Chains A and B, each alone.
Chain A
Amino acid sequence: MSMSAGSATDASAVEIAGLHKWYGEFHVLSDINLKVGRGERIVICGPSGSGKSTLLRCINRLEDFQRGEIVVDGMVLTRDVRRVDAIRREVGMVFQHFNLFPHLTVLENCTLAPIQVQGMPKRKAEERAMHFLERVKIPEQAGKYPNQLSGGQQQRVAIARALCMSPKLMMFDEPTSALDPEMVKEVLDTMVALALDGMTMLVVTHEMTFARQVANRIVFMDAGQIIEVNEPAPFFARPQHERTKLFLSQILH
């Protein structure tokens, strides 16, 4: 399958316009404008505290924002609880610390939301969960509890759990940052496979190899602003902005 850039279709999966967010006096996000096309894979990088995670968390309203507009899959994100829930059903999220539910088995983690939120019959939800657990290559762990798995396995379960809701967009918030080095690859491989299947993805990560391999575009953020957006090859070869150059020189050796 082709992984070339520019496969985005005309309709956008996410449109962010003039987004501002403050924590008290602190301006965390400043005038963010970003369109994510369907099937597009965007990697967001930048120094810590630059607002990358906050931006993701605004899209499914884990965080509030004060000004601007976010449209997800044609739906304008408002404070209305039903609208927020409708958008969350379309957006899968994978967290840095996995956030699996420790009192439920792997299978139950994956079937909970389809049964409770989508009203899917239990049998069907389990079939679907097993399908995605096979996709992330751990069907044999279905009966175990999250604490019995390694970090890499837990993160793959978290990916399967999000996929079980058939999201139109998958967001990854530093999915490999909390992992031991030898487990990073298994999670990245899963994400690459997902990208090959054409999933729309927004990924906050420092894994530049992954960005080079998978992203259509790379967004560089610093101090709450988008500094530079470009396709991977020119982004790494000819960064335009000083801060981008500085960041890349620190992160690539």
Chain B
Amino acid sequence: MDAQTPTATAQSAAARAYVRAAPAPFMRPPPATVGPLGWIRASLFPSVGSGVLTVLVAALLVWIALPLIDFLIIDAVWTGSDREACLPTAERPVVGACWAYIGDRFAYIVYGSYPIAGRWRVDIFFAMLALGSAWLLWLEAPRRDIGSVYFFAFLPVASFVLLHGLEPIGLPVVDTALWGGMMVTIVVASVGIVVSLPIGVVLALGRRSQLPAVRLLSTLFIEFVRGVPLITVLFMASVMLPLFVPDSWSPDKLMRALVGVALFSAAYMAEVVRAGLQSMPKGQYEAAHALGLSYWQSQRLIILPQALKVTIPNIVNSYIALFKDTTLVFFVGIFDFLKTIEVARADPKWSTPVTSATGYIFAAVVYFVCCYAMSRYATGIEKRLSTGEKR
């Protein structure tokens, strides 16, 4: 009953408790769950049903891919100067894609009817646009503040002067009716992209404003535009506007389409931005206000930088949709990329059975490459943001 000796205490504790003396050794995972073999088993043949599906899908892919490769590459014609090159002959009964025709009409597809002597201006525009985009899209680029001034202020003015021309500095004016091809598609898309974001931000803030008039106007605009197809907006801009405005005031056809596209995508952008604004915790607004920051300061310094960052993937998705929607300007008589393909397709000099297919495949590939690049960029940003949050 007396106090036990220390040794006795230790012994009885040892008898009661399980205490590991050394860490257990690491065990290797079972061989069939790791490495390439494990991956194949887990992803392709996890069960009999899945295995059968894997085989069927693989067969389908081969069935589609082989003829496509035949048409696009193996049987394709790469050189030639007119339709003779792409016509089936006795010694070559099967003709694939007529890439020679794309090569021959490439300048037209890129520049439309823009005067040949002035095409260097378009090239400089492309280069400046590429520089600006890279500067903004590469998040670690130096001096991105200058980059955004360049992109949002300098570039629009410089592009207009370059492409449209300015007589006093010796650049002859090129009427927009002569603009065409890839150049027009890029102009329409980039004007839409550059203009729709700021307008969208303003509309989104307006829709969340505490001032009833501002809120009502923003909501009306957004809901009206979202309730109407883009083609209607374009028809209104190109057909109805001239009815109300005297001829001398009426802006040119391309300008009207640009305004239509920009306002249309601004309404969608507003909803994307609004979602970002709504995802901001209330505490961020409160902390900003408690520090004495005004409404605009809190929006500019605290809320928008965070809200826009989380919406980048959605913003890029809107841009992808916008880029594809630019093809609709074709219906109001503007020679965009797709329209030039249409025109080139009908050229009798290249009239062959495969010309149309080649033209459309080329268009599809170009649109796919552009949209897929944007989509990959959005995915990359999304990944970065999610790791940033886990930080």
Where the two chains meet, the residues of A that have a C-beta atom closer than 8 Å to any C-beta of B are: 60, 62, 81, 85, 88-89, 91-93, 95, 97, 99-103, 112-113, 116-117, 145, 147-148, 161-162, 165
Contact = CB atoms under 8 A, between A and B. Distances in A.
A99 B286 contact: yes
B286 A113 contact: no
Contacts of A148: 391
Contacts of A101: 284, 287-288, 302, 306
A95 B389 CA distance: 21
Interface stretch (B12-20, B160-168, B290-298, B316-324): B290-298
B139 to A, nearest CB: 13
Nearest to A92: B290
Contact of A85 (B281, B294, B302): B294
Interface secondary structure of B, over-half rule? helix
Contacts of A89: 292
Interface of B: 281, 283-284, 286-294, 297, 301-302, 305-306, 309, 389, 391
A116 B306 contact: no
A207 to B, nearest CB: 21
Contact of B287 (A95, A103, A116, A117): A95
B291 A97 contact: no
Contact of A99 (B284, B297, B306): B284
A201 B292 CA distance: 18
Given A101-B302, A103-B305, A95 B292 contact: no
A60 B289 CA distance: 9
B287 A99 contact: yes
A117 B292 contact: yes
8 contacts: A60-B290, A91-B290, A93-B287, A99-B283, A99-B287, A103-B309, A112-B293, A148-B391
A147 B303 CA distance: 17
A88 B295 CA distance: 13
A97 B389 CA distance: 17
B122 to A, nearest CB: 39
B306 A102 contact: yes
B292 A113 contact: yes
Given A85-B294, A101-B306, A147-B391, 14 more contacts: A62-B290, A88-B290, A92-B290, A93-B287, A99-B287, A101-B287, A101-B302, A112-B293, A112-B301, A113-B292, A116-B297, A116-B301, A117-B293, A145-B391
Contacts of B290: 60, 62, 88, 91-93, 95, 162
Contacts of B283: 95, 97, 99
Contact of A147 (B281, B291, B302, B389): B389
Contacts of B291: 88, 112-113, 117, 161-162, 165
Nearest to B284: A99
Contacts of B305: 103
Closest 6 CB pairs of A and B: A99-B287, A99-B283, A113-B291, A93-B290, A88-B292, A89-B292
Contact of A100 (B287, B293, B389): B287
Nearest to A164: B291
Contacts of A100: 287
A145 B389 CA distance: 11
Nearest to A96: B283
A42 B15 CA distance: 56
B286 A62 contact: yes
A60 B288 CA distance: 12
Contacts of A165: 291-292
B297 to A, nearest CB: 5
Nearest to A89: B292
